[in-house]
Structure formats: structure tokens, C-alpha cells
Amino acid sequence: MCGIVGYIGTQVATEILLAGLEKLEYRGYDSAGIATVWEGDVNCVRAKGKLHNLRTKLEHIEIPAQIGIGHTRWATHGKPEEHNAHPHLDTAMRIAVVQNGIIENYRELREELKQKGHQFRSETDTEVIPHLIAEFLKNLPSPPLPTSPSFFLEAVRQAVKHLEGAFAIAVIAADYPDELIVVRQQAPLVIGFGQGEFFCASDTPAIVAYTRAVLPLENGEIARLTPLGVEIYNFAGDRLKKQPRLLNLHPMMVEKQGFKHFMLKEIYEQPGVVRASLEAYFNNDGNPSPINLSLPKEFYADIDQIQIVACGTSWHAALVGKYLIEQLAGISTQVHYASEYRYAPSPLLPNTLTIGVTQSGETADTLAALAMEKERRQGKEAKYQARLLGITNRPESSLGHLVPHIISTLAGIEIGVAATKTFVAQLMAFYALALDLAARRQTINPDKLADIIHGLRQIPKEIEATLESQEKLTEHLAHEFAETQDFIFLGRGINFPIALEGALKLKEISYIHAEGYPAGEMKHGPIALLDAKVPVVAIAVPGSVYEKVISNAQEAKARDSRLIGVTTVNDGEAAEIFNDLLPVATVDELLSPILTVIPLQLLAYHIAARRGLDVDQPRNLAKSVTVE
């Protein structure tokens, strides 16, 4: 949440900062701002709302500075107004700070600083930081400490030791025009290494156009960027030796490539995501399992139960994962909202594998739930020790630092705030994990295993066919439903999480109220909502619950709801019941979620686009939710 970017080098900073912020806007877009140092002063320009407002303001301001910081905000403390936009300055307006995260003890600090005469101009938590740095700068001994190469670095280091919370910050100062100081404490920050120029950003897409040599900072690290190079220290002030690594990310991957929105492009990338996952996970000689997740042998020993923590769409993928693990591998599995689990964990059971699912690898609640699980099991006897696995699209993220084992999902970077291809990639990871566990525990017979893997190999073609046949159908339906106020999505069994996901997609990008229910639960209350104004989307594909869903759909029809069926091609029975059909190919019921979600993504997309909404950056949301 919130995106920060910084530059120091020989080029004009403003354009580089704006271009970087554009790539980070998915992290928040309530306001944006940049600060540069030029001719002995800090120049700060900020604007409420999206980045283009800032860009418009800057059109009339020419600042040839070669150092600067920028920020795009997702509001936590203080309304999304210009005076709360970052960068924030100290009283004398000589120090500028951008921050991503939350300073938990800002109230006490603010009071102390006010008493010392500091004047505050915003309601944010961040504003205490420049004031605190100014205070330390004022009081540092002169000449500079022999251990520190710079007063400025030393003041920032002292200041951050007083901050509590999770944060990443970048700081510049009028009196130190050749230094950009950055800090990471539980919020992501990468440094980019160019030729005589250096960058920092919350995420790599912001800098990949300039360099692919990056170094993610670790928690408790502080870096000093100058035109001559980068020095890294820990909070104790010890210099650390670290080398950048080459990023496997091409600038093209973060462009729309002719699609109207990133979300639509990402929906269309899903066949490729499934192919990449098949290639990576199902490319083994079969001994002891035809699946290769690159997990060590000891990982598989003595797993008596599994618990999964996740949020939002990742939570829906986890529900599909639970179904697969329980039905295929016979391991009892619980799925928890990470935000709930961290405050009310299950009783400690032995031999428990805890899985955190998060595409960004930065979701604060998921990280906190995993960290809590690790901590509460520390010091216990061996069978109670924490066994943690992460499933993420960003193995280099905070999650990657927290857990010993990772299954990397292979979606490539996802820009649209609504998760689509990362969801499908998470499903692929769960197919691989569930089948791997089942093969090793011999709870699946080899023919069935071979059939499922064969079925998975057909999925990319089936998604392509679905995309081709559904694009026009969903666009047409979107035209009819653009003004609808409520939707109900129904599914059962392995497709119940898909009903939830269909409803979430519609809610988050079209702002239409939508609920996902297990179809059999409707008659226990929600059926009272139904009438001719409330359409019902039901997932009715062949399998153990097909007839049941059809009956539940009939019940909705009897209440005058218009029925839209995600069915299979040539299903005559469904054609008679549903008013509209969104058919997918017939596949094994276990594989159906990966197809049934496609029309629901398209439907949500086209309804939002039809309503003229900002599909990629829906109101109030952010791509990575790095605050509680």
C-alpha cells in the first residue's frame, strides 16, 4: 500500500519519478507528490487524486533537479487531501520524506515534537519523520561521528530507531543535495543500480525501465544512495556488504500491449500462466511423484493436518485448495481469513503444516498470521514446531523472507487491482500440491492421477476457447446488467469458492452489490432477497452436485430471478432452465474451477467497463494491502 520511488543521478529526476509512480499507482491512488532538491531548496509538489493531477500541476513547473523522491498514497491516517499527501516536510521545509506503512507511535512522537516547537501541517503519521530527523540533525555532535560517513545518514538512523510499526521510507534534504537515504522495516523497498544513477522503489516495475540490477533491502536496513554508489548499513550502524542481482522482468511485461485495461490483458494471459505452471510443476519422472515443487523430502514427512491463511481472492483459491487436498490427499485442511486467525488462532496441534497464500507476498494480515504461528510454536517439542509454506507470485517479497518453503506461482507481474491471472496461478499451485501429496501418500490411484494431469494439460486450450466464445456473450450481458443493483452468485462443492470469487470481482470493480453463496444455503435466508430485479448467476457443471445446483437455480427462477448459467457446452437441460448461458468445456469436476472462473472474470470486467469505471484502479482499493 502506497508506492514510493526515489532517484539520484545525472538525469532530470521529475520525469523518472512520475514514470515510476505510474507503475506504482496500483498500490494506491488517493493523492501523489514529489520532492526534489534544487539550488539549495526542497521543492515539493503534491496533488489530491490520481497521478495525472500531479502531472498536470508539474507541466508548468520546471525543476532540473537530479535528485528526488515521489509517492502515491492509499490513505490510512488523514483524509485523501492535498495537505495529507506525501512528501512531508519538517518545520523549516529543509527535509522531505515519503513513507509506505504505518508509524504506530506517531501520536506520542507528535506531541513531544510539538512541545519542542515543531509545526505540523497534516494529520498523517508520516509527518513525524521529517521533524524527528530535523531534531536529530540539530543535536548531532560536530564534527560528524567517525563511524558515520554523513550527518544526514546518522540523523535518519537515529530517527528510525524511535519509530514503531512497519514502514519503508525515502528521505532527501536541502543541505545534503547528494544523498538519498532509504530505510526498510517490514515494508518492501528495492534499490536499483544504474550507470552513475541509482533508484529506490516499493516495487520493481517502477524502475525496470532503467535498470534490471536490483537489491531488495532487508528489514532493519538503511541505505545511503549518492551519485557515486550505494552504501548499506543495519540500524546499529554497521556497514553491510551486499550485491545486486539481475531481475527477470522485462519492461514490456508492465505495459497494456494494446488491451484497453490491464485486467483484460491479464485475463487473456491465463492460458500462458497455466502452460508455465504445467511446465514448472508437472515435469518430473514420476518417482516418487510426477510433480516437482522443489520442496525437500523432509517437507512431506508427518503432515497430519493443514491450515491455510489468506485474504480476499487468495482466500478463495485456498478454499479450492482445501477441497483438493482433502478429497485427493485425505489431509484435514482448515482455511482461515488471516485477519481473523492472527487474533484467534486454532488450538496448537502437532504435525501441522501452515500455508500462507498471497500473490503480493506483502499482505500485512497474512504475514502477521504466519509470524504469529511461527512465534507461538517456538520452543515447543519437535512435532509442534512451525512448518510454514508460502504460495506467492513474488518469491522475493516479505513472505519469501518469513517462510522456509515457497511455491512460486507463475503469473508474471499483475497490475490490475482485481486479481485474475494470479488466482488461476494459485489454483495451479494447489493442483500441484494436492496431487503431489496424494501421490506420495498413495491416496490416489495412478490412473486417476494420470487422468487429472492429462486433463490439466488440456486446460490452456479450453481457456482459450472459453475466452473466444465468451468475450461477446459477456459484453452483451454487461450491456443489459450495467444498471443492476444486486447480484447473487451460486455454486456448490469445488465451485462454491468460484461463486465467491465471481461476486468479489463484480463488487470490487463495478461497485455493484454481489453475494456469493453455497447454492444449498439460499433457502435458509438469502432467498428472501430474490425478485425480478436480482439476477442469479449459478455455476452448474457436471459432477457430484450438478443436479443439486440445477434444483437451487429452479428455486431462484420460481422467485422471478433472471438466471445466468455457467454451464457446459451442449447442456440441453441447463439450456431449458437458464435465461442466459455462459458455457465452458466439459472437464473433470475437480478441474472445473479453473474454467468456470473465466466467464465470471469477463462478466465483471465488461460490466465495469460498460459503466465507465476505472477497472484497473477501483476506488478505495490497493493491490498490496500492507496495513492491518
Query: Shortest gap between Cβ of 314 and ligand AGP (angstroms)?
Result: 4
Q: Which of 1, 45, 418, 478 binds ligand AGP (CB under 6 A)?
A: 418
Q: Which of 202, 226, 363, 568 binds ligand AGP (CB under 6 A)?
A: 363
Contacts of 69 (CB under 8 A, 6+ apart): 4, 5, 6, 7, 17, 34, 35, 87, 96, 97, 98, 170, 171, 172, 180
Residues 464-503 as x/- pattern, contact with ligand AGP by CB under 6 A:
----------------------------------------
Binders in 42-81 for ligand AGP, by CB under 6 A? none
Residue 624 is a binding residue for ligand AGP (CB under 6 A): yes
The string of DSSP letters for 105-163 reads: THHHHHHHHHHTT----SS-STTHHHHHHHHHHHHS-SSPPTT-S-HHHHHHHHHHTT-
- Residue (313 or 352) nearer to ligand AGP, CB: 313
The CA-CA-CA angle for residues 59, 63, 69, to 5°, reads 95
Rounded to whole angstroms, how far apart are CA atoms 70 and 36? 9
Give catalytic status of residue 623 as yes or no: yes
Stretch in the footprint of ligand AGP (CB under 6 A) among 86-94, 157-165, 311-319, 521-529: 311-319
Total residue count of the chain as it appears in this document:
628
- DSSP 8-state secondary structure symbol assigned to residue 350: S
Query: Shortest gap between Cβ of 394 and ligand AGP (angstroms)?
Result: 8
Nearest Cα to Cα of residue 182 among 215, 146, 142: 215
Stretch in the footprint of ligand AGP (CB under 6 A) among 50-58, 286-294, 560-568, 617-625: 617-625
The answer to whether residues 292 and 469 touch, using CB atoms and an 8 Å cutoff, is: no
- Residue (295 or 621) nearer to ligand AGP, CB: 621
Catalytic residue among 265, 421, 507, 623: 623
Q: Which of 66, 226, 313, 409 binds ligand AGP (CB under 6 A)?
A: 313
Q: Which of 311, 411, 439, 553 binds ligand AGP (CB under 6 A)?
A: 311
Query: Shortest gap between Cβ of 292 and ligand AGP (angstroms)?
Result: 24
- Residue (37 or 357) nearer to ligand AGP, CB: 357
Query: Shortest gap between Cβ of 58 and ligand AGP (angstroms)?
Result: 30
The answer to whether residues 553 and 490 touch, using CB atoms and an 8 Å cutoff, is: yes
Cα four-point dihedral sign 508, 55, 31, 190:
positive
Residue 307 is a binding residue for ligand AGP (CB under 6 A): no
Query: Shortest gap between Cβ of 214 and ligand AGP (angstroms)?
Result: 20
- Residue (126 or 339) nearer to ligand AGP, CB: 339
Tell me how many residues contact ligand AGP (CB under 6 A): 16
Stretch in the footprint of ligand AGP (CB under 6 A) among 73-81, 147-155, 360-368, 460-468: 360-368
Residue 314 is a binding residue for ligand AGP (CB under 6 A): yes
Residue 359 is a binding residue for ligand AGP (CB under 6 A): yes
Nearest Cα to Cα of residue 217 among 197, 205, 202: 202
In the structure grid, which three cell numbers stand for residue 214, read together? 536490483
Distances (CA, A) of 286 to 26, 196, 283, 432, 457: 41, 50, 9, 13, 16
Residues 569-608 as x/- pattern, contact with ligand AGP by CB under 6 A:
----------------------------------------
Rounded to whole angstroms, how far apart are CA atoms 375 and 402? 11
The answer to whether residues 213 and 41 touch, using CB atoms and an 8 Å cutoff, is: no
Q: Which of 419, 540, 609, 615 binds ligand AGP (CB under 6 A)?
A: 419
Residue 398 is a binding residue for ligand AGP (CB under 6 A): no
Q: Which of 6, 101, 271, 312 binds ligand AGP (CB under 6 A)?
A: 312
Residue 132 is a binding residue for ligand AGP (CB under 6 A): no
The string of DSSP letters for 161-193 reads: TT--EEEEEEEEETT-TT-EEEEEEBS--EEEE
Amino acid at 385: Q
In the structure grid, which three cell numbers stand for residue 545, read together? 452436485
Q: Could you tell me where the DSSP H helices lie in 482-545? A: 496-510
Residue 625 is a binding residue for ligand AGP (CB under 6 A): yes
Distances (CA, A) of 396 to 20, 25, 56, 211: 20, 20, 35, 17
Residue 417 is a binding residue for ligand AGP (CB under 6 A): yes
Stretch in the footprint of ligand AGP (CB under 6 A) among 205-213, 354-362, 471-479, 584-592: 354-362
Residues 219-258 as x/- pattern, contact with ligand AGP by CB under 6 A:
----------------------------------------
- Residue (126 or 313) nearer to ligand AGP, CB: 313
Residue 1 is a binding residue for ligand AGP (CB under 6 A): no
The answer to whether residues 394 and 360 touch, using CB atoms and an 8 Å cutoff, is: yes
Burial class (CB in 10 A: 0-12, 13-18, 19+), 315: buried
Strand order in the sheet with 165-173: 88-89, 95-103, 165-173, 180-185, 221-226, 229-234, 239-240
Residues 499-538 as x/- pattern, contact with ligand AGP by CB under 6 A:
---------x------------------------------
Q: With residue 315 as reference, give the H or E element that holds it.
A: helix 312-324
- Residue (312 or 543) nearer to ligand AGP, CB: 312
- Residue (69 or 419) nearer to ligand AGP, CB: 419
Residue 358 is a binding residue for ligand AGP (CB under 6 A): yes
Nearest Cα to Cα of residue 615 among 49, 26, 22, 24: 26
Catalytic residue among 2, 44, 200, 311: 2
Strand order in the sheet with 31-38: 41-48, 31-38, 67-73, 3-8, 198-201, 190-193, 213-216, 245-246
- Residue (92 or 621) nearer to ligand AGP, CB: 621
Query: Shortest gap between Cβ of 190 and ligand AGP (angstroms)?
Result: 17
3-state secondary structure 205-240: HHCCCCCCEEEECCCCEEEEEECCEEEEEECCCCEE
Residue 626 is a binding residue for ligand AGP (CB under 6 A): no
In the structure grid, which three cell numbers stand for residue 412, read together? 508474471
Rounded to whole angstroms, how far apart are CA atoms 106 and 521? 46
Residues 258-297 as x/- pattern, contact with ligand AGP by CB under 6 A:
----------------------------------------
Q: Which of 366, 408, 552, 596 binds ligand AGP (CB under 6 A)?
A: 366
SS3 28: coil
- Residue (353 or 600) nearer to ligand AGP, CB: 600
The answer to whether residues 185 and 401 touch, using CB atoms and an 8 Å cutoff, is: no
Within 10 angstroms of residue 593's Cβ, the number of other Cβ atoms is 30
Q: Which sequence positions are flagged as catalytic?
A: 2, 623
Q: Which residues bind ligand AGP (CB under 6 A)?
A: 311-314, 358-360, 363, 366, 417-419, 508, 621, 624-625
